[in-house]
Amino acid sequence: DMHDNLVLLDDRQHFLWCSAQNGYNHMYLYGMDGTMERALTAGAFELTAFYGLDEKNGKFYYQIASPGPLDRQLWEGDLNGGAARLLSPETGTAEAAFSPDFEYFTLEWSDANTPPVVTLRKRSGELVRTFTDNERVRKLREAYAFSKKEFFTFRPYPAAAEKDKNELMLNGWMIKPPYFDSTRQYPVLFDIYGGPGSQTVQNQYNGYVGTWHQMLAQKGYIIVSVDNRGTGGRGRDFKKCTQLQLGKLETEDQIAAARYLGSLPYVDAGRIGIWGWSFGGFLSTSCILKGNDVFKMAMAVAPVTNWKWYDSAYTERFMRTTKDNEAGYEENSPIHFIDRLHGNNYLVCHGTTDDNVHWQQTVEMINALIDAGKSFETLYYPNRNHGIYGYNATRHLFTKLTSFVMEKL
């Protein structure tokens, strides 16, 4: 793991350092000889952000995934071993920025169904002023009859013989159509990312793509997201189990999640689709190929299709080199499984000047699809980068995604 949570103390005899040596990411106090003197935070939860050390007062400030992996709390810790103090009692996601002397901080709080509230507070937590409460957005959500995002947890492999796999639990969220009728069956669209250490299933407001989700829900679709193995907030072992096989367990988990959703009485198991961007596009592509009996359609924006062509600083961190791990690269690159694509239910979009996931990834995939005689749809955005924005590009892209969902799902 890469981070910059290193703090050198003024006594020049100690430093603070973050690590997951006991299974979860925590902050530790070390002597300059490298001896760990004590843990400053501990427990079966992740330290997800470190905001800084106020050495004068012996306090430090941090964020943790608590009371569960979906939430984020802000805490004040004591450098000398005293009791820690919670600065954000509300359930949801709290993020902070501190003044240089740590006397004041801004607190941004939201949850899955509440737009961000941004306040200025004293070190004690006392409210100084509210910068924004997004009351207008709350009223608009009510006026447009937005559905609530609901969280769920499930066992993706209840019949597995292996104990660890059998007992595995995954988290997800679901947005149901307004006036949901449990006696009906609805189509489902998965929105996924699933990359190492990421989380899409978090108790935090998403006003960008989340608004698009609400529009699709009002058109009669259930929108779902699931955090597969390899994602963050649940400790070292859950995050690092995908090492050397990036995409294998992630794809298996999303396919298993679709099977679980398909077993629910209000889901039309024959109308389950999936979409994602970047790593999510890689995953949606893998799922339509390896899970072609479960997913009816897939959309991929700026996807990795061959791990050999993605940047080495990222890929080799998880996969090592092609020489060391040829099988890992071959078995988890979608381009090697195009024979499994059925029908004309795959859309791939890419910006031609993408400097993150190069356009080459999609071009090579399309060439292989053509060679194999497969049907698909594609859309290129000239001179657009990984984000595909500017000069109406975002609206154009999401208009296409919407029409593809309506036509294919």
Q: At what angle do helices 393-408 and 209-218 cross, to 10 degrees?
A: 30
In 3D, which of 289, 277, 263, 271 has the Cα closest to residue 188?
271
Q: DSSP letters along 167-204, please? A: T--EEEEEEPPTT--TTS-EEEEEEE---TT--SS-SS
Q: Nearest 5°: phi and psi at 385?
A: -95, -155
d(CA 6, CA 48): 14
Angstrom distances, CA of residue 102 to CA of 49, 86, 97, 285, 356: 16, 15, 9, 46, 36
Bridge partners (DSSP) listed for residue 228: none
Phi-psi region of 125 (alpha: psi -120 to 50; beta: other; left: phi over 0): left
Q: Catalytic annotation on 336?
A: no
The residue from 14, 336, 386, 396 that is catalytic is: 386
Beta bridge partners of 29: 16, 38
Q: Return the CA Rg of the chain.
A: 23
Selecting among 110, 225, 278, 284, the annotated active-site residue is: 278
Instruction: Answer yes or no: 278 catalytic.
Output: yes
- Max CA distance (Å), the chain: 69
Euclidean distance between CA atoms 402 and 129, whole angstroms: 41
354 belongs to the catalytic site: yes
Nearest to 74 by CA among 60, 61, 57, 83: 61
Q: Nearest 10 degrees: CA dihedral of 41, 45, 51, 53? A: 0
Contacts of 2 (CB under 8 A, 6+ apart): none
Task: Tell how far CA 3 is from the center of its chain.
Answer: 18
Q: What is the DSSP string of 303-367?
A: ----GGGS-HHHHHHHH--TTT-HHHHHHT-GGGGGGG--SS-EEEEEETT-SSS-THHHHHHHH
Q: How many CB atoms lie within 10 A of CB 105?
A: 22
As annotated, the active-site residues are: 278, 354, 386
